[in-house]
A and B are shown apart, each in its own frame.
Chain A
Amino acid sequence: GNSVTQMEGPVTLSEEAFLTINCTYTATGYPSLFWYVQYPGEGLQLLLKATKADDKGSNKGFEATYRKETTSFHLEKGSVQVSDSAVYFCALLYNQGGKLIFGQGTELSVKP
């Protein structure tokens, strides 16, 4: 079946450190891929997306590239801030069939 696997958290970094959160997926066909972010006590916000292989999604300094050959969509940021502390979710969606499948979430804590 279709599934998404993220690296285990929590991830703790110092401010201005480089961030990578790994995400791999198992799917038939060609899903769209997403990163959502959930700040403490808040809802889910779309961070970025990519709809086909080799697309790069980017937003607020975060980037992720859709790699079909490695079935991956790793999230990166060059210099994290305390305000980036949140839970990050990788997800996949098929154009037909309709449901968004989430990874288990990775908690990021950035210390000053």
Chain B
Amino acid sequence: DTAVSQTPKYLVTQMGNDKSIKCEQNLGHDTMYWYKQDSKKFLKIMFSYNNKELIINETVPNRFSPKSPDKAHLNLHINSLELGDSAVYFCASRGQNTIYFGEGSWLTVV
């Protein structure tokens, strides 16, 4: 069973579109995250939720809106996609002293 799963794995879309990436964890953790990996492989946190409450928002444009319907799910919705949004987006969840990552979602905006 995959501990942190995210869909879709690959997404190619046009500028200006709206898209969502879904994430689910079956680890029973309270805290989940979204990270962005840019073309130089640099990883930066975007958001963190604890038990459905937003606790970290790292100056991400408000075109990005996370939604947590329950503590096992943290979805990322992106409005009006721009070329610069092309990246790999990783969902993660936190257990005791360790953070587990999903397989990543490769987003390409054309």
Contacts and interface: CB of A to CB of B under 8 A. Distances in A.
Interface string A54-98: 000000000000000000000000000000000101000101001
Name the prevailing secondary structure of the A interface residues: strand
Contacts of A45: 101
B102 A43 contact: yes
Contacts of B98: 32, 34, 46, 49
Contact of A98 (B43, B44, B55): B55
A31 B56 CA distance: 18
Interface residues of B, number: 24
A49 B44 CA distance: 20
B97 A32 contact: yes
A50 to B, nearest CB: 10
B103 interface: yes
Interface string B43-61: 1110010100001100000
Interface in B25-80: 31, 33, 35, 40-45, 48, 50, 55-56
B43 A89 contact: yes
B97 A44 contact: no
A25 to B, nearest CB: 15
A44 B99 CA distance: 10
10 smallest beta-carbon distances between A and B, as pairs: A43-B103, A44-B101, A102-B43, A43-B104, A105-B41, A100-B99, A99-B45, A32-B97, A51-B97, A43-B101
Interface of A: 32, 34, 36, 38, 42-46, 49, 51, 87, 89, 93, 95, 98-102, 104-105, 107
